[in-house]
Amino acid sequence: MLHALHPFEAVLFDLDGTLVATDRFWPDAARAGALKAFAAEGLQRELPSTEQWMSLVGLPLEQGFDALFADLDPVVRARVLQACVEEEHRLLAEGRAGLLPGVAETLAALAESGLAIGVASNCSQGYLDAMWQGTELRRWVRAARCLHSPGIRDKADMVEELLIEFGTRRALMVGDREGDRWSAWANGLPHVHLTRGYAQPGERVVAEAVLAGMDELLPRLERRSRWIDEALAALALGDRGMLGVLGAPGSDHEWVAQDLARVLEAQGVPVQRTSSEASLRWTAAGGLEHGQPSAAHAHLFSQDSEGVACRLLGAEETLGALAAGQPAGWTIVHGPLLHQPEALQHLDRVLVVEVSPEVAQRRRQGCLRALPRAERDQQAERWGILDRLERDLQDRYPPAAIAHAVLDGNNALGPTPRGVEGASSA
pLDDT (tens digit, 9 = 90+) per residue, 372-382? 888 898 889 88
* Mean pLDDT score, 163-191: 96
* Residue 254 covered by a domain: yes
Q: Are 408 and 221 in contact (CB under 8 A)?
A: no
More confident residue, 297 or 252: 252
Q: Which residues contact 68 (CB under 8 A, 6 or more apart)?
A: 48, 52, 55, 56
* Mean pLDDT score, 249-269: 94
Looking at 93, 110, 144, the residue that finishes a domain is 93
Cβ neighbour number for residue 326 with a 10 Å cutoff: 16
Domain check: are 86 and 135 in the same one? no
The amino acid sitting at 401 is A
Domain check: are 386 and 258 in the same one? yes
Domain check: are 41 and 66 in the same one? yes
Average pLDDT for the chain: 85
pLDDT tens, residue by residue, 30-82:
899 999 999 998 888 889 999 898 888 887 888 889 988 998 999 999 999 99
Can you list the positions of beta strands (E) in 317-422?
Answer: 329-335, 349-354, 405-408
pLDDT(392) > 90: no
CATH classification of the domain holding 391: 3.40.50.300
Q: Which residues contact 418 (CB under 8 A, 6 or more apart)?
A: none
CATH classification of the domain holding 139: 3.40.50.1000
- 130 φ, ψ (degrees, to nearest 5): -65, -35
Domain check: are 105 and 69 in the same one? no
pLDDT tens, residue by residue, 75-105:
999 999 999 989 888 888 888 888 999 999 9
Domain check: are 157 and 290 in the same one? no
Domain check: are 17 and 35 in the same one? no
Domain check: are 172 and 247 in the same one? no
* Residue 101 covered by a domain: yes
Q: Which residues contact 356 (CB under 8 A, 6 or more apart)?
A: 410
Which residues span the domain enclosing 44? 22-93
What does the pLDDT read at residue 291?
Answer: 36
What does the pLDDT read at residue 220?
Answer: 94
* Mean pLDDT score, 6-27: 91
Looking at 67, 93, 119, the residue that finishes a domain is 93
More confident residue, 322 or 194: 194
State the virtual CA torsion across 237, 242, 243, 246 in degrees, nearest 10. -160
* Mean pLDDT score, 383-412: 89
The number of folded domains in the chain is 3
* Residue 227 covered by a domain: no
* Residue 4 covered by a domain: no
Domain check: are 77 and 101 in the same one? no
* Residue 41 covered by a domain: yes
pLDDT(191) > 60: yes
* Residue 142 covered by a domain: yes
Domain check: are 152 and 41 in the same one? no
Q: Which of 44-58, 99-113, 144-158 has the lowest mean pLDDT?
A: 44-58
Domain check: are 187 and 277 in the same one? no
pTM for this predicted structure: 0.85
* Residue 231 covered by a domain: no
CATH classification of the domain holding 43: 1.10.150
Domain check: are 195 and 296 in the same one? no
pLDDT tens, residue by residue, 307-324:
333 444 444 456 766 666
Q: d(Cα 274, Cα 254) in Å, to the nearest integer?
A: 9
* Residue 307 covered by a domain: yes
Domain check: are 395 and 315 in the same one? yes
